[in-house]
A = this chain, B = another copy of it.
Amino acid sequence: MNPMSTQLIDYYAAEDKIHIATDCIIFGFDNESIKLLIFKRRVDPFKGQWSLIGSFVKATESVNDAAKRVLTEITGLENVFMKQLKVYGGVDRDPGARCITVGQYALIRIEEQDKTLVEKHGAVWHDLHEIPDLVLDHNTLVKDALVQLKLKASYQPIGFELLPKKFTIPNLQRLYEAIYQKKFDDRNFRKKIIALDVLTKLEEKDKSTSKKGAFLHKFNKEKYNKLVNRGINFRL
């Protein structure tokens, strides 16, 4: 492939060029706790150590496409919610070479079918609150992403990305509790969520976690998207 397919000349030829990578902070939820996807780095330096999943950005692809590429490769998922976190642009952050990275965080639901693919790539879902030492500044990226996730959850509905299509209100509550690391009052949580008016209650019950069973719900995508734009005020 022609590495400069769309440009014939480089007006900026006198300027420096730098390696640019993107690293994905992939959060997953398995209806119990929030997990982070990490894997063993495959290139030197630090080959074999725990790392976020990332890749260099090619001259012919956008930064977003690079992240999508990585994400699809490892998880098999497409159209994943992903958002830029921050650029880590320090001169000495990578002893391998000057390399700037764009941190991007993704939210996905952990489901059985994906697990096998993840494992095939040597990746593991690791409990968010006991992450091992990662290469470079990756622990910082994770910390920053978690702050961002909490912030996001406070002004936008979250959950569409992390929960299965059908879920119970206790499921949703456990998700928020996992994000904030804090227990919420059942009655107030339920009241607030229902007041948002984005859930459709189904007839069906999920009996996997109790004998009585809990009613399943689904998101009303239209109302949900409106709420994403309008913003919420979720301070529990």
Q: A59-B18, A60-B91 are in contact. Are A11 and B96 (CB under 8 A)?
A: yes
A interface residues with partner B (beta carbon < 8 Å): 3-4, 6-7, 9-13, 15-20, 43-45, 56-64, 84, 86-87, 89-92, 95-100, 102, 151, 154-155, 233, 235
Report the bound CA distance from A100 to B99 in whole Å: 13
Q: A11-B44, A44-B11 are in contact. Are A56 and B91 (CB under 8 A)?
A: no
Report the bound CA distance from A100 to B210 in whole Å: 52
Minimum distance in angstroms from A154 CB to a CB of chain B: 8
Report the bound CA distance from A84 to B98 in whole Å: 20
Report the bound CA distance from A56 to B7 in whole Å: 18
The 9 listed contacts between A and B (C-beta, < 8 Å) are A7-B95, A11-B43, A11-B44, A12-B43, A16-B19, A17-B18, A18-B20, A62-B89, A63-B90
Q: Nearest B residue to A91 by beta-carbon distance?
A: B62
Task: Identify which of B4, B44, B45, B92 contacts A98 (C-beta below 8 A).
Answer: B4
Which residues of the other chain, B, contact A99 by a CB distance below 8 angstroms? Answer: 12
Q: Nearest B residue to A93 by beta-carbon distance?
A: B62
Which residues of the other chain, B, contact A6 by a CB distance below 8 angstroms? Answer: 91-92
Which residues of the other chain, B, contact A62 by a CB distance below 8 angstroms? Answer: 89-91
Which residues of the other chain, B, contact A7 by a CB distance below 8 angstroms? Answer: 95-98
Query: Contact: A11 with B45, CB < 8 Å?
Result: yes
Query: Contact: B90 with A87, CB < 8 Å?
Result: no
Query: Contact: A97 with B63, CB < 8 Å?
Result: no
Which residues of the other chain, B, contact A43 by a CB distance below 8 angstroms? Answer: 11-12
Report the bound CA distance from A140 to B149 in whole Å: 24
Query: Contact: B84 with A86, CB < 8 Å?
Result: yes
Which residues of the other chain, B, contact A86 by a CB distance below 8 angstroms? Answer: 84
Which among A89, A155, A233 has the highest number of chain B CB atoms within 10 Å?
A89
Which residues of the other chain, B, contact A63 by a CB distance below 8 angstroms? Answer: 87, 89-90, 100
Which residues of the other chain, B, contact A58 by a CB distance below 8 angstroms? Answer: 16
Report the bound CA distance from A13 to B11 in whole Å: 23
List the 10 closest A-B pairs by CB distance, nearest first. Answer: A63-B89, A17-B17, A11-B96, A10-B97, A16-B59, A15-B56, A12-B97, A62-B90, A62-B89, A87-B102
Report the bound CA distance from A19 to B98 in whole Å: 13
Known pairs A16-B57, A20-B20 / 9 extra A-B pairs, C-beta < 8 Å = A6-B92, A12-B97, A16-B56, A16-B59, A18-B19, A57-B100, A61-B91, A63-B89, A233-B235
